[in-house]
Structure 1
Amino acid sequence: MKIKIITLAIFLGLFSSSFADAKKKKKDKKGKKTETKKMELKNELDSLSYALGVSIANNLKSQGVDDLNSAAMSAAVKDVYSGNDTLMKADDANQFINTYFAGAAERKSKEAQVEGKKFLDENAKKEGVVVLPSGLQYKVLKMGDGPKPGKDDKVTTHYHGMLIDGSVFDSSVDRGEPATFPVGGVIPGWVEALQLMPVGSKWKLFVPSDLAYGDRGAGPKIGPGATLIFEVELLSIAK
């Protein structure tokens, strides 16, 4: 099915509404600012085009692409669907994308590590915070009197995971269901902390990126180089 130019405009218009350049108000001939007209989805093709755009834009934003040149993207999509020669061959475009994201991830990781170090340096000065040689920090919220697990044991815990800005990325507490897993099967910061915790304890962990997910990050919420905070309650050692 041949897509008409107007359909392409509908599809591409959403990008400008998703990124910063679309937030600017247009000016009329008299120099007055006017609001951009809100798009209407009049048929199934409009809805499909918009849905694809939402998915693509959210995916790009989750990977750290905070802005785009929507005109350049529009030109590329128009050229492909119209059968025109593109300014980049498909292989070259893919290579550029891969190189860009690799570099962006590295930059993002370094920035996050700087922020994390600053946070940990300040946190280490707070009352009750213990700093281990590995760089892991913890604060005892409640000290249990049960046995301590070994690396080969399975444990059942409740936990609440946050970034240093306080945003929650995972929580067994919020789900209302504790998690059971091998001590040796989690991030290094947890492996170290769990073996120090008697059953019944509740600790707050401050985990530097090299003891968490490092440069790779984890999913859409934990970026490369992120320092993590956990409230961990060790409920039992699983038999």
Structure 2
Amino acid sequence: MRKILPISAAILVSSLTLLPLTGCSKSETAQKDNKASAAATKDQKSTDPLEVLSYAQGYQLGAQLPAEINTKQLALGIEEGKAHKDSIYTQDEIKAAFESYQKTVAQKAQEAVKKNEQFLADNAKKPEIKTAPSGLQYQILKEGTGKAPTANSTVKVNYEGKLVDGTVFDSTYSRNEPVELALGSTIPGWIEGIPKIKEGGSIMLYVPAKLGYGEHPVGNIPANSVLIFKVELLQVK
């Protein structure tokens, strides 16, 4: 039997050391797909503790995997590894595949960085956009007249977050439900930007990657992404 392949799952799984807002939800299309999938698998639910825990383990792993991972191949690897079968790939084949994949990832990352930097450079030229020393860009749509938040405040907000290509990655509007969150637990761009308005106010935030999720991909947010938020501050607690 060949030796266990020395490739850690960590090299394929996105880092979890993040600063989420409330956990990035999936797009509306993905949400519809999830509802359809949930309806289709509802009858597969089991009350057997081991089956419940097995599903939970798989669900947790799946939630951490990059979108490009082939889950059929992943499942095959798990099944054959569990059965202690010989791997169908040699260590050299896996090493070569990993190096090729890393080159592709690096190239895409460089392209994304250039695209996002160009967006910020162009956006900064607009007269309505202000740029803070940190690099945060913002536009106050409505100042508000109520209580002003601090980094230690709990705030109730409606917001929409999207990428520079217009892809919406999260929206309380689509869920018809504002959220409450501890401002200090959010990304740096929010901690700095939200206190620029008061209750009843609204703001556009253009968050550079260093004030967002940085080099970490999060859900359907690629690494090094500029994040664009429209935020309505409903209440400060």
TM-score above 0.5? yes
**How many residue pairs are counted as aligned between the two chains?**
164
Instruction: Identify which of structures 1 and 2 has the higher relative contact order when contacts are C-alpha pairs closer than 8 Å and 6+ apart.
Output: 2
Deviation at 1:61, TM superposition (A): 8.2
Find the aligned partners of 1:84 and 1:193 in 2 and give their Cα distance. Answer: 54
TM-score, with normalisation over the residues of structure 2?
0.60
Superposition map of 1:1-239 within 5 A:
62-63=67-68, 86=88, 88-89=90-91, 92=92, 100-219=100-219, 221-238=220-237
Deviation at 1:94, TM superposition (A): 5.2
Find the aligned partners of 1:231 and 1:158 in 2 and give their Cα distance. Answer: 8
SS in structure 1 of the partner of residue 236 of structure 2: strand
TM-score, with normalisation over the residues of structure 1?
0.60
Preserved CA contact (<8 Å) 2:163 2:225:
yes
Unaligned runs of 5+ in 2: 1-63
Residue type of the alignment partner of 1:171: S
Structure 1 stretches of 4+ with a deviation exceeding 3 A read: 83-87, 92-107
Unaligned runs of 5+ in 1: 1-58, 66-72
SS in structure 2 of the partner of residue 215 of structure 1: coil
- For each residue in 1:167-213, what CA deviation from the matched residue of structure 2 results, as whole angstroms up to 9, or x when unmatched? 11100011100011111111110110012221111111111111111
Percent of paired sites with the same residue: 35
Preserved CA contact (<8 Å) 1:215 1:225:
yes
SS in structure 2 of the partner of residue 195 of structure 1: helix
Find the aligned partners of 1:209 and 1:141 in 2 and give their Cα distance. Answer: 23
Q: Please identify the structure whose Cα radius of gyration is greater.
A: 1
How big is the alpha-carbon RMSD for the aligned residues of Structure 1 and Structure 2? Answer: 3.0
Find the aligned partners of 1:198 and 1:121 in 2 and give their Cα distance. Answer: 28
